């Protein structure tokens, strides 16, 4: 007898395996966007020029090229793809700080998660910038009237179709790819 629990286990493991690396996420993107006919119909319904469907489908069909595009677009420290995780959040109102503030991560968390290297490349068509030393990491600070948040570069452990889609959007919309 088929149980809901076992079906969910199967689906969750397959999804997790495909999201564990960039190639798996590209395969999923390919399955969704490689059919140009479906995309053309969607473009017509949305009143978007059909050339969008042609470009997206062509890129989605070429898995090797799509992996290379994502590799070119994704942010990285040295050769490791990164995202930014909240390291600490300090509220400017001292009363709110005690209730809502996020304390800085521990040294153990940093040792297990933070990516160190000598250069950082941000998302998109950008050139790499040198970090302070050969064993530095990239920090981002966002500040507003309410709080100051610090983010640190950590390894991407799970890739999504949305991540691949963001790379494709940036790549196809870039002026160097306009024809």
pTM of the model: 0.83
Residues 89 and 145 in one domain: yes
Residues 135 and 170 in one domain: no
Q: Are 39 and 30 in contact (CB under 8 A)?
A: no
Token digits for 156?
């991407």
Residues 89 and 55 in one domain: no
Domain enclosing residue 98, as ranges: 76-155
Q: What is the pLDDT of residue 132?
A: 86
- Percent of the chain surpassing pLDDT 90: 68
Average pLDDT of the chain is: 90
Start-to-end CA distance of the chain, whole Å, equals 56
pLDDT digits (tens, 9 = 90+) for 104-151: 788 899 889 999 999 999 999 999 999 988 899 999 999 998 888 999
Token digits for 60?
């989605």
Strands 80-91, 76-77: pairing is: antiparallel
Number of domains in the chain: 2
């Amino acid at each position: 007898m088929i149980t809901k629990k076992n079906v969910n286990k199967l689906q969750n493991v397959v999804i997790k395996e495909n999201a564990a690396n960039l190639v798996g996420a590209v395969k999923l993107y390919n399955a969704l966007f490689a059919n140009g006919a479906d995309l053309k119909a969607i473009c017509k319904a949305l009143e978007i020029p059909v050339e969008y469907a042609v470009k997206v489908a062509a890129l989605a069909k070429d898995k090797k090229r799509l992996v290379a595009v994502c590799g070119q677009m994704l942010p990285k420290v040295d050769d490791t793809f990164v995202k930014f995780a909240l390291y600490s959040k300090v509220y400017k109102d001292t009363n709110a700080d005690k209730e809502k503030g996020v304390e800085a991560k521990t040294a153990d968390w940093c040792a297990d998660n933070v990516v160190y290297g000598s250069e950082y490349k941000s998302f998109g068509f950008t050139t790499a910038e040198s970090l302070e030393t050969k064993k530095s990491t990239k920090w981002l600070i966002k500040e507003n009237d309410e709080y100051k948040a610090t983010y640190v570069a950590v390894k991407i452990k799970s890739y999504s179709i949305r991540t691949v889609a963001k790379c494709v959007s940036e790549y196809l919309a870039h002026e160097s790819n306009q024809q």
